[in-house]
Structure 1
């Protein structure tokens, strides 16, 4: 493969994949994974598929939970992400993580292959959410569970000294998503594709005071690299936006809600 995947203009090449891995090691996202694992409630010998495995951090944690007789598979469209995940494929006390390059709507597994499917921060990139969920249902055993986590970007509160520029930047950044407000309709889509929703919760991220070891600090780099040339934003404006946020110091404020859904296959 060529080492680069373009998702609505956001290139998941080696550089972006590395930035995402760094963000996923922050305390904010470590806590997010804890919430996801609590919702998963995995047991020894469970067979689990991670759709959009990313850098493999969640997959490695799940492998330790299902034990050597369990199974952990991960798919991602980005070979750069898969290369990072491969470095975590061997987990002491767990099964080797099996990795494949594939999209959410074309899973390379037979029917009823898994007890659980999990996907975090992926379905908001998917054009045909219902079609992808039907594919998830196909690979789940009867009464198997799906756990989804996605962001509603309308929940974002991000302090700036220039609110107009902030609004323009965020509007431009939403262009990399198929649906920046997916959680608002996700329960309905799950019900219409053969799932019974059993649990929903908010997983918030709150950063007060600028700290480079936070989710939002890492997001600044990703956003400022993506938005130039979109919505008439220039590279200089994107740089000024990023510099402004970092200069806020103790006055920095960022809040964002992610939404977790658990559903059972009928």
Structure 2
């Protein structure tokens, strides 16, 4: 799922990949996938590419929607993510999801191979957004559609007992991204790549009250593992930051905005 030089990116090794899979099964992200599928409005027989397929949950759901006459392919650069996605590749009443190891910058498909390309939580990791969009446009048929969903990490609201520490921790966590504020420029990038924007939607994540079965509870584990040694954050500070959040119980509050863009390759 991660594009970049590998020096500051979050490494999607087997342990992190399992953490991501658990987060993607929470009600927060289940609802996000429903919103994505509604915006896509897939039809039986559609040919779909999922760039950054991750644990394969969305790809499997899309395969059920396009039916046996359709096609769903997924690419990812992470071996461990592809292994998890492979456990969901066989879809009842749908095509087998075809999985390939590849990056957004070099898609292993011919021109005009797909009716739809979808990429969720990937482009904020991409170091060459223009090049990746050109690749998507190449593999899309004329009038094909692309859906991109990414987070603006400047939108985060996370209650903390130590606001200065929270600011430092989140600044350190942004180091795992190529652009933590990508949605602010993504529309312009789509325009320059020759797409016509047809739909824009905010997809909020909101957790009020601490619950381990939420997206943000899983995010605590990932952040606290990543940030030590960055922006002056010590392991002890990262642990104290995580303990503070988990101890808030009913006072806990987390909100984050993701932004969904649909565009046509006219």
* Inter-partner Cα distance in structure 2 for 1:86 and 1:223: 27
Structure 1 residues 42 and 107, CA gap change in structure 2 (3 angstroms): same
Residues 8, 178 of structure 1: 8 Å contact kept: no
In 2, the alpha carbon distance for the partners of 1:13 and 1:220 equals 17
Instruction: Describe the SS at the equivalent of 1:10.
Output: coil
Q: Which structure 2 residues correspond to residues 71-82 of structure 1 after superposition, within 5 A?
A: 71-82=71-82
1:131 maps to: 131
Contact 1:151 1:180 in 2 (8 A): yes
CA contact (8 A) 1:112 1:140 kept: yes
Q: Which residue of 1 aligns with 2:105?
A: 105
| Counterpart Cα distance in 2 of 1:199 and 1:171 | 30
2:161 paired residue number: 161
* Cα distance in 1 for residues equivalent to 2:14 and 2:141: 35
Deviations 1:78-134 (A, max 9, x none): 010000000000000000000000000100000000000000000000011011000
Task: Compute the displacement of 1:8 (Å).
Answer: 2.9
Question: What residue is the counterpart of 2:90 in the other structure?
Answer: 90
Give the Cα separation in 1 of the matches to 2:251 and 2:207: 11
3-state SS of 1:11 partner: coil
Using structure 1 for the length normalisation, give the TM-score: 0.97
How much has 1:10 moved relative to structure 2? 1.1
Name the structure 2 match of 1:120: 120
SS for the counterpart of 2:100 is strand
Is the contact between residue 70 and residue 95 of structure 1 (CA under 8 Å) also seen in structure 2?
A: yes
Residue 244 of structure 1 corresponds to 244
Residues 123 and 150, structure 2, Cα contact 8 Å, conserved in 1: yes
1:166-189 per-residue CA deviation (whole Å, 9 max, x = no partner) reads 000000000000000000011100
Deviation (angstroms), 1:6:
4.1
* CA RMSD across the alignment: 0.9
* CA distance in structure 2 between the aligned counterparts of 1:151 and 1:43, rounded to whole angstroms: 27
In the TM superposition, what are the counterparts of 1:135-214 in structure 2 within 5 Å? 135-214=135-214
User: Matched residue of 2:199: which SS?
Assistant: strand
Moved beyond 2 Å, runs of 4+: 5-9
| Residue 9 of structure 1: how far off its partner (Å) | 3.1
1:113–1:139 Cα contact (<8 Å) kept: yes
Give 3-state SS (helix, strand or coil) of 1:221's partner. Answer: helix
1:48 is aligned to 2:48? yes
* Cα distance in structure 2, aligned partners of 1:58 and 1:29: 10
Q: Could you state the TM-score of these two structures normalised by the residue count of structure 2? A: 0.97
1:22 maps to: 22
Aligned partner of residue 74 in structure 2, secondary structure: strand
Q: How many residues are treated as equivalent by the alignment? A: 262
Provide the C-alpha distance between the structure 2 equivalents of 1:41 and 1:9, rounded to a whole number of angstroms: 33
